[in-house]
Amino acid sequence: MEQPASHLIIKRAEGVSVVEFADRKILEELSIQEIGEELERLVESEPGIKLLLNFRNVDHLSSAALGMLITLNKKINERSGSLKLSDINRQIFEVFKITRLNRVFDIHENAEAALNVFNA
Amino acid sequence: MRCPEDFGVADSELTEIVVPNTLRDAKTPEERILQDLQRNGYDEQAIFAIKLALEEALTNAVKHGNQNDPNRQLTIRFLVQPRQVVIAIRDEGVGFTPELLPDPTADENLELPNGRGIMLMFAYMTRIRFNDAGNEVWMLKDLDEDG
């Protein structure tokens, strides 16, 4: 049977798992559960994971996606890992501000800045 | 429920689409509305706002209102004008009381995974009204009022 295509592009950089989303529609409701499950598997496979979610391909967001990120963040913290977000466009950052989730997540301007903090 | 008076639109002007209660079927009216927005020259920021509110409302109707029951239906009514959009979504559920929802931006609720959809609808649209039962929502985006 054919495996469902991954929604994520995962790379390693300086001890950090850097995840990008494979297409722009990924954060729509229909895919969020699958993305959440894929990210949870990644977190479970590496205790103390340093995970950077790069949002440069993302131009839309929903409350369900925010919920998925909150659940993921808790799971990472429980496993002594660390999650950072980067490259969030202006409109999507506004959603984080309206919901005050910019206070919950560690958000960086770009991936390079986030990697520097991970490895400081 | 009729279109709220202060939305400035007559019911007869609205297009109605009825779809089965699935997120996939809910894409049909969403795409129609988004095409109308493009055709009417809405900018990226307005489309982002309307799409966000519309998807939250549709998701609420499918999951919470109609309890993911594919035998139920969603009724979507809408009108897209150059400076104003009216969208109504009705489900066949028992409804809810929006005022009773906890504030998702309160410190104690910040890390709850749910409960942000309604507040985002209010944040991104000019006006939101629910019918008394709470199973029908009316949303207005008015570019002139938003300034």
**Domain assignment present for A20:** yes
Q: What proportion of chain A, given as a percentage, has pLDDT over 70?
A: 89
**Per-residue model confidence (pLDDT) at position A97:** 98
- B19-128: what fold? Heat Shock Protein 90 (3.30.565)
Q: Distance, in angstroms, between B43 CA and closest chain A CA? A: 13
**Domain assignment present for A92:** yes
Residue B88: closest CA among B33, B127, B134, B138:
B138
Question: Which residues of chain A form beta strands (DSSP E)?
Answer: 8-13, 16-21, 50-54, 82-86, 106-108
- Read off the CATH number of the domain in which A49 is found: 3.30.750.24
Region of residue A98 (left: phi > 0; alpha: psi -120 to 50; beta: else):
alpha
Q: Distance, in angstroms, between A54 CA and closest chain B CA? A: 20
Predicted confidence band at A95 (pLDDT cuts at 50, 70, 90)? very high
Mark yes or no for CB contact B110/A60 under 8 Å: no
pLDDT along chain B (147 residues), means of 10: 93 97 94 98 97 96 96 98 98 95 96 95 98 97 94
Provide the residue range defining the domain that includes A30. Answer: 8-118
Sign of CA dihedral B53, A40, B25, B104: negative
**Per-residue model confidence (pLDDT) at position A28:** 65
Mark yes or no for CB contact A99/B104 under 8 Å: yes
Total domains present in chain A: 1
**Domain assignment present for A18:** yes
Give CA–CA dist B115/B103, Å, rounded: 8
**Domain assignment present for A1:** no
Name every residue in B having a CB less than 8 A away from some CB of A. Answer: 23-24, 44-45, 48, 51-52, 55-56, 59, 104-105, 110-117, 119-120, 123
**Per-residue model confidence (pLDDT) at position A1:** 45
**Domain assignment present for A75:** yes
**Domain assignment present for A3:** no
- Pick from B44, B48, B114: CB nearest A67: B114
**Per-residue model confidence (pLDDT) at position A27:** 55
User: For A3-52, what is each residue's pLDDT tens digit?
Assistant: 556 789 999 998 999 999 887 665 566 688 889 999 999 999 999 999 99
**Per-residue model confidence (pLDDT) at position A26:** 52
User: For B24-46, what is each residue's pLDDT tens digit?
Assistant: 999 999 999 999 999 999 999 99
- Pick from A59, A63, A74: CB nearest B116: A63
CA distances from B115 to A44, B83, B101, B109, B133 (A): 26, 30, 8, 9, 19
Indicate whether A67 pLDDT > 50.
Answer: yes
**Per-residue model confidence (pLDDT) at position A2:** 47
**Per-residue model confidence (pLDDT) at position A33:** 87
Name every residue in A having a CB less than 8 A away from some CB of B. Answer: 28-30, 59-64, 66-68, 70-71, 73-74, 91, 95, 98-101, 103-104
Mark yes or no for CB contact A74/B48 under 8 Å: no
Closest B-chain CA to A105? B111
Mark yes or no for CB contact A98/B23 under 8 Å: no
**Per-residue model confidence (pLDDT) at position A30:** 65
Measured between beta carbons, the chain B residues lying within 8 angstroms of A59 are 48
Question: Is residue B88 helix, strand or coil?
Answer: strand
Mark yes or no for CB contact B110/A67 under 8 Å: no
